[in-house]
Amino acid sequence: MMDDMIDHLAGLRDLPVWQPMPPALRKSFAAGLPQTGTDPAALYGEFQTRIQPYVTGNTHPRFFGWVHGGGNAVSMLAELLAGAMNANCGGRDHVGIAVERQVIAWAAAMLGMPAQTSGVLLTGSSMANFCALLCARYQALGPAGRAQGIGDAKLIAYASAGAHRCVTGAMDMAGIGADSLRKIPLDGNFQMDIAALRDAIAADRAAGLAPFLIVGTAGSVDVGAFDDLTALADLAAAERLWFHADAAFGALAALSPTHATLLRGIERADSVAFDFHKWAQVTYDAGCLLVRDPLIQRATFAQSTSYLAAAPRGLAGGEPWPCDLGPDLSRGFRALKIWMTLSAHGAAKLGAVVDHGCALAQHLAARIIASNRLELLAPVALNIVCFGISGQHDEAVANLVADLQEEGLFAPSTTTINGRLAIRVAIVNHRTEQTDIDAFVDEILRRTPKS
Ligand SMILES: Cc1ncc(COP(=O)(O)O)c(C=O)c1O
């Protein structure tokens, strides 16, 4: 299996980016629970024919959709080691917790946050944003909020209109309500309009509501825009609000000497959510929450129960445990693949991956601008390029994208920019080269009628 998987990663270019599952195969996964076992060697054969060819495709250099990381072989092997250890990293005194703390300290240092910053690894930024919002709720309501819920506290949060959907979801799941999230309009650079934010906070205070949280986006999912985090930090401090940064993929720009300035101000955040499974190329899943004040993180999640009591010595030592820093009790050894990936490749190489992706995005933007048939639909701040095809309706654009995906050639995604369906390319995978970008543009032009 290991030899095959190394060969698989080495030979990705010869494979389709993605292919739809044949209907019979899809149906075959509605079988009943197996009553007797199957030989693992035969099962591996089934994996090779029924599973391996039909996965998402985000390891492929021509996968450009959404914001999917490409993974790396060291992380893959670390998953094997973690599986063999089968450590439960919810707590107790063992090396898995030490590795996780090391990873959290590296993440805080990467973003310029204080050394005492605490954190926890989670599935992804959706969970990390949710947990950050719970910390902000704790700061606003204290222990009573945990015991009695939000009651009639009229908590209000603010994020840009370009914020990820998980911020809305977090408000909903935290019991505060999605309607209590103010979506502040964007300016011409797709950044949150700070004057509009200031006005919204003043209007809410005047109406007797209780602003508690500003969420800045560092790398928006649509177009890769960065809010002015310094201005948001200033405003949050002046208004005494929790300042959270959703840096799901943008956080890794901190490792790039040329793009790190985009993150200026993130070091002042009360909390940050980001993913190692995106630009850091760790295999899924590997989300991270950082919280500036360790006491608030612990106060937000800790519970005391006799069957989980910590002890001064022995295996029940080693507090604080991750189960008191987030919602999960049983947790896998996620930290190992992150620690091994960062150690194997080093910060400078990961920063170079960020720069490479951004340079490819600029190359794509330049080809779009040079063409008289393609139109750039948003500024390219980072690694995301949104463009349209002159004179083509949304339906034609959607069909073109689906054709490219179904033929296994390229996997871009789509989004809506100013009411128009855009082809969206996010270059996250370290395997993508300029030849892939050129082939993509050439193929689109080949399929697009000349006007
Ligand atoms: C800006 C932003 N926030 C949050 C998320 C959600 O992250 P995850 O998919 O890891 O839950 C994404 C995902 O692409 C994102 O781009």
If you average pLDDT over residues 289-305, what whole number do you get?
A: 96
If you average pLDDT over residues 234-260, what whole number do you get?
A: 97
Cα-based distances in Å from 348 to 110, 252, 258, 351, 367 = 11, 11, 12, 5, 28
At 265 the pLDDT is 98
189 CA from centroid of ligand 1 (Å)? 20
**Minimum mean pLDDT range among 9-18, 121-130, 301-310, 379-388:** 301-310
- Ligand 1 in reach of 267 Cβ (< 6 A): no
For the CA of 250, the nearest atom of ligand 1? 1
226 CA from centroid of ligand 1 (Å)? 14
Cα-atom radius of gyration of the chain, to the nearest Å? 23
At 451 the pLDDT is 65
If you average pLDDT over residues 4-30, what whole number do you get?
A: 97
For 128-164, how does the pLDDT look when each residue is reduced to its tens digit (9 = 90+)?
999 999 999 999 999 999 999 999 999 999 999 999 9
- Ligand 1 in reach of 107 Cβ (< 6 A): no
- Ligand 1 in reach of 288 Cβ (< 6 A): no
SS3 of 288-317: the string is: EEEECCHHHHHHHHCCCCHHHCCCCCCCCC
For the CA of 249, the nearest atom of ligand 1? 16
- Ligand 1 in reach of 250 Cβ (< 6 A): no
441 CA from centroid of ligand 1 (Å)? 27
For the CA of 128, the nearest atom of ligand 1? 11
For the CA of 220, the nearest atom of ligand 1? 1
- Ligand 1 in reach of 287 Cβ (< 6 A): yes
Which of 391, 393, 367, 389 shows the shortest CA–CA distance to 377?
389
Give the residue with greater pLDDT, 127 vs 310.
Answer: 127
Mutate to test the pocket of ligand 1, among 63, 64, 67 (most ligand atoms within 8 A of CB): 67
Decide: helix, strand or coil at residue 177: coil
- Ligand 1 in reach of 124 Cβ (< 6 A): yes
At 46 the pLDDT is 97
Strand partners, 291: 118, 271
- Ligand 1 in reach of 386 Cβ (< 6 A): no
- Model confidence at 97, in pLDDT bands (50, 70, 90)? very high
For the CA of 217, the nearest atom of ligand 1? 1
With beta carbons less than 8 A apart as the criterion, state whether 397 and 421 touch: yes
For 41-50, how does the pLDDT look when each residue is reduced to its tens digit (9 = 90+)?
999 999 999 9
For the CA of 277, the nearest atom of ligand 1? 10
373 CA from centroid of ligand 1 (Å)? 31
- Ligand 1 in reach of 424 Cβ (< 6 A): no
For the CA of 285, the nearest atom of ligand 1? 10
Separation of alpha carbons 62 and 434, rounded Å? 11
Separation of alpha carbons 446 and 448, rounded Å? 6
Mutate to test the pocket of ligand 1, among 123, 191, 275, 334 (most ligand atoms within 8 A of CB): 275
249 CA from centroid of ligand 1 (Å)? 7
Q: Which amino acid is at 444?
A: I
pLDDT at 72 over 90: yes
- Other C-beta atoms lying within 10 Å of the C-beta of residue 48: 13
Cβ within 8 Å of residue 164, ≥6 positions away: 125, 126, 129, 217, 220, 221, 246, 248
- Ligand 1 in reach of 249 Cβ (< 6 A): yes
For the CA of 163, the nearest atom of ligand 1? 1
At 214 the pLDDT is 99
- Other C-beta atoms lying within 10 Å of the C-beta of residue 375: 17
At 306 the pLDDT is 82
Classify strands 242-246 and 210-217 as parallel, antiparallel or unpaired. Answer: parallel
If you average pLDDT over residues 32-59, what whole number do you get?
A: 97
If you average pLDDT over residues 276-289, what whole number do you get?
A: 98
At 232 the pLDDT is 98
User: Mean pLDDT across the chain, nearest whole number?
Assistant: 97
If you average pLDDT over residues 239-246, what whole number do you get?
A: 98
Structure tokens belonging to residue 71? 């993974």
79 CA from centroid of ligand 1 (Å)? 22
For 311-322, how does the pLDDT look when each residue is reduced to its tens digit (9 = 90+)?
999 999 999 999
For the CA of 287, the nearest atom of ligand 1? 10
62 CA from centroid of ligand 1 (Å)? 20
Separation of alpha carbons 289 and 5, rounded Å? 31
